[in-house]
Amino acid sequence: ESNHASLIPEEGKKKVPGLQGRWDAQSHELLRDFEATLLHMFGLKKRPRPSRSPAAVPRYMLDLYRLQSGEGDESGGEIAFEYPERSASRANTVRGFHHEEHMERVHELGEGEATPLRFLFNLSSIPEDELLSSAELRLYRQQIAEAGGDDNKTGLHRINVYEVLKAPRPGQLITQLLDTRLVRHNASRWESFDVSPAVLRWTRERRPNHGLAVEVLHLDRTPRRRGEHVRVSRSLHQEPGEDWEQLRPLLVTFGHDGKGHPLTKRTKR
Amino acid sequence: SPKQRGRKRNRNCRRHALYVDFSDVGWNDWIVAPPGYQAYYCHGECPFPLADHLNSTNHAIVQTLVNSVNNNIPKACCVPTELSAISMLYLDENDKVVLKNYQEMVVEGCGCR
């Protein structure tokens, strides 16, 4: 007796002499219904057809899965963040969103003022019965090595993340500060910004939103290599080995649909 | 020397291995992880009298007792009594990445009910 199951039921595989055509039609229908039942169980209306193969899966989502399922203990310390227990303890679903790149906008506010970049996220795939508990915007910052300089004295950046409250007008962007951080450009790492107040309201009200704006201020006014540290937009000339799909800003939502338990961290079975 | 006895095959209700492989139906293009999982299944007899380790209820004991005198009443069935969840990482219909916890996917224990 085999203990390796196939999801294709045995009944669908039988062939009866003289009734080949009818069995093929029946088995096809059976498979289709079976697949529909399974997809419904997973909360999907139709079978996903990824547009790319292999699919571009953000490393953060993969690492979250490994940490939650206990496989992170075997990864040999490759995962460079702690499992977000607080967010995950209230969620059974985590979703990752990249911004709509074709709608990316730089808003020139005036001479001497920092230029924020606006990001729009399409959150329409979040079901109505899924209640979000938190959301974070993850930005990657790439180390800038100072030639002949003291890294501890230069390279201070202030990163501000805003919610855009109204449709932008030329020279005007109405925003509300959500989170801020002071960083130094002598390290490469991901930064997480709490954007829960904005994203939770967007999904609760289910109305179009005006997106998030990210502003990067160079505090020591170093003119060299501006705009290179915090990776908020695609480089004109991609560096060898760079994968923009893995470096681009990522909006992560934590929610619960009322079915099942939260994604608390598990030890490997 | 004592006669060697053959090992009796345990036919009683218990958990059996069952690995479910998503690649069998080509779902490995949208399910990123895991590639499959150990679901287990329950199978076996629920013999009279029901032993304690068969994890039964009082009702199952009564039903099995009645079956012993009246075949029209079926025996208790070997079914999952405890199930646990697994998390899955996948791409949804909109190409968005989702990590979700699905309940009642793995059999942790079987019993006669």
DSSP string, A114-162: ---EEE----TTS-TTPEEEEEEEEEEE---PPTTS-TTTS-EEEEEEE
CB pairs under 8 A between A and B: 117
- Quote the tokens at residue A39: 């997809």
Closest to A175 measured CA to CA, from A123, A213, A129? A213
Structure-model confidence comparison of residues A20 and A142, the more confident one: A142
Give chain A positions within 8 Å (CB) of B102. Answer: 41-42, 260
d(C-alpha A161, C-alpha A149), whole Å: 29
Closest CA to B112 of B43, B29, B31: B43
Hey, what are A118's tokens? 């606006």
> Which 8-state DSSP code applies to residue B4?
P
**How far, in Å, CA of B13 to CA of B33, rounded?**
31
The verdict on A3 touching B (C-beta cutoff 8 Å) is: yes
Per-residue pLDDT at A19: 45
Contact call for residues B87 and B33 (beta carbons, < 8 A): no
Which of A61, A63, A250 would best serve as a mutation to test chain B binding (most B beta carbons within 10 A)?
Answer: A61
**B21 vs A contacts (CB less than 8 Å):** 4-7
Is residue A176 helix, strand or coil? strand
Lowest mean pLDDT among A15-29, A78-92, A186-200: A15-29
What's the rounded Cα separation, in Å, for the pair A204 and A192?
22
Q: Cα–Cα–Cα angle for A20, A21, A27, nearest 5°?
A: 85
Q: Which pLDDT score, from 0 to 100, does residue B1 have?
A: 47
Contact A125 B92 (CB under 8 A): yes
Supply φ then ψ for residue A256, to 5 degrees: -140, 135
* Residue from B27, B84, B100, B108 whose CB has the most chain A CBs within 10 Å, to mutate: B100
Asked if B91's CB is within 8 angstroms of A50's CB, the reply is yes
- Note if the bond before A127 is cis, omega within 30 degrees: no
Report the relative pairing of strands A4-5 and B19-21 from DSSP bridges: parallel
Question: Which of A7, A58, A260 comes nearest B85 by C-beta?
Answer: A260
Confirm or reject contact between A97 and chain B (CB < 8 A). Answer: yes
Banded pLDDT at A116 (limits 50, 70, 90): confident
Q: Are A175 and A116 in contact (CB under 8 A)?
A: yes
How much is the pLDDT for B17? 96
How is residue B57 written in tokens? 């209820």
Percent of chain B with pLDDT over 90: 65
Residue A7 pLDDT: 47
Give per-residue pLDDT as tens, A122-150: 999 999 999 999 999 999 988 877 655 55
pLDDT given for residue A13 in this prediction: 41
* CA pseudo-torsion sign A214, A218, A223, A229: negative
The answer to whether residue A163 scores a pLDDT higher than 50 is: yes
pLDDT band at A176 (very low <50, low <70, confident <90, very high): very high
Single-letter code of the amino acid located at A158: R
Q: What is the DSSP letter of A239?
A: P
Q: E strand or H helix at A198, and its extent?
A: helix A196-205
> Which residues in chain A have their CB less than 8 angstroms from residue B17's CB?
3
Predicted local distance difference test score (pLDDT) of residue B48: 80
Between positions 55 and 74 of B, the ones with CB within 8 A of A are: none
Confidence (pLDDT) at A18: 45
**Of A35-39, A77-81, A254-258, B83-87, the least confident:** A77-81
| A102–B contact, CB cutoff 8 A | no
Under an 8 A CB cutoff, do A5 and B87 touch? Answer: no
Neighbours of B105 (CB within 10 A): 17
Question: Which chain B residue has the Cα nearest residue A123?
Answer: B96
Q: Round to whole Å and give the CA distance between B101 and A42.
A: 10
**Quick one: pLDDT band at residue A202, thresholds 50, 70, 90?**
very high
Contact call for residues A119 and A101 (beta carbons, < 8 A): no
Cβ–Cβ under 8 Å, residues A220 and A154:
yes
- Which residues fall within 8 angstroms of residue A116, CB to CB, at 6 or more apart? A106, A107, A109, A160, A162, A173, A175, A213, A214, A215
Which residues are bridge partners to A106 per DSSP?
Answer: A117
Q: Which residues 13-52 of A have a C-beta within 8 angstroms of B?
A: 35, 41-51
- Is A51 in Cβ contact with B95 (below 8 Å)? yes
Residue A249 scores a pLDDT above 60: yes
- Residues in B closer than 8 angstroms to A3, CB to CB, are 16-19
Nearest chain A CA: its distance from B7 CA (Å): 19
The amino acid occupying position A103 is: M
A268 touching chain B per CB within 8 A? no
Is the pLDDT reported for residue A3 higher than 50? no
Bridge partners of A8? none
- A69 to chain B, any CB pair closer than 8 A? The answer is yes
Indicate the pairing of strand A117-119 with strand A131-141.
Answer: unpaired
B88 vs A contacts (CB less than 8 Å): 42
